[in-house]
Structure formats: structure tokens, C-alpha cells
Amino acid sequence: MMLAELLRNQVLWTTIAAWFLAQFLKPFLEYLETRRWLWGLWFSSGGNPSSHSALVVSAMLAIGLFVGFDTPLFALALALAMVVVYDAAGVRREAGRHAERINLLFQELFSGQPISEQQLKEVIGHTPLEVLSGVLLGSATALVSYVLFGR
């Protein structure tokens, strides 16, 4: 019975679809921008579109559409989406900038010599455009899901 309920949960499937679409699109959008294929983007955070933003916005909008915009569940989803989107564009982006500077510092300190320290991951946050792309993708996924499977 629980498996049948999970299979019928349109909010869950909408959310998974938005996340999957965002991750799937990353290498193709990277290629359009830089003319190089980075297939590893399928499995990484950062990049365009923001899969974190797509996931939480699709969940929030799907909850509003399928369950109701006047529910405490929608209010919770909205609050969560606000935190995640802010974090994606703000805190995580700044952490990426710090990683860039620290990596540059190591390169300058050890120029000409092999560096044994592993470089910090620089692409852990998103630009505002990447976050907006994720928000739009999440919204579109929720709207399409509601049109196709809504009550």
C-alpha cells in the first residue's frame, strides 16, 4: 500500500523530474557556453541550471498546485525554497569565490613546484542567472506536471 502511494505522489515525481532535468541539461548548456563537453557535470553541484533551485521550486509549486496554496505545507515549502535559493546564490557562491582565492594563493606560494594539496572545489555555488534558470525550470516542470496529471 505504501509503494502504491509513493507511485501516485505527483509532488514527489515532479520534484524528481525537475532535479533530473537540471542535472541532465548541465553538460549541454556548458557546451553551448564554452564549446567543451564536461560530462562530469551530470554528477556535480554548481553549474547551470541550479538543480537545487529547480528541485525546491518545483516541490513548492507542485505542493501549491496539487495540495493547495492555502495549506501549512505550502508555507513550509515556500520557506524552504527561499532558504535554498538564497543559499545557492549567496552563501555557496561566496564559498566558491573563497575557494578560487585560496587555490590562487597556493599556486602563487608554490609556483614552479608540484603541489601535493588537493585544490578546493570552486564551483559549489551559482550565479544569479544559474539560480534563475533553476527557478524557471522547476516552475515549468511543476506546471507541466499539473497540466498532465492534475486533478
**Tens-place pLDDT, residues 60-118:** 999 999 999 999 999 999 999 999 998 887 776 677 677 777 777 777 677 765 555 56
Residue 100 within any structural domain of the chain: no
How many structural domains is the chain composed of? 1
Residue 99 within any structural domain of the chain: no
The residue type at 107? Q
CA-closest candidate to residue 17, choices 117, 150, 139: 139
What percentage of the chain has pLDDT greater than the value 70?
86
Question: Which pLDDT value is given to residue 103?
Answer: 75
Residue 112 within any structural domain of the chain: no
Residue 129 within any structural domain of the chain: yes
Question: Which pLDDT value is given to residue 88?
Answer: 81
CA-closest candidate to residue 93, choices 121, 47, 124: 124
Domain that holds residue 37: 8-90+125-149
Residue 84 within any structural domain of the chain: yes
Between CA 147 and CA 59 the distance in angstroms is 15
Residue 37 within any structural domain of the chain: yes
Residue 118 within any structural domain of the chain: no
Residue 113 within any structural domain of the chain: no
Between CA 142 and CA 135 the distance in angstroms is 11
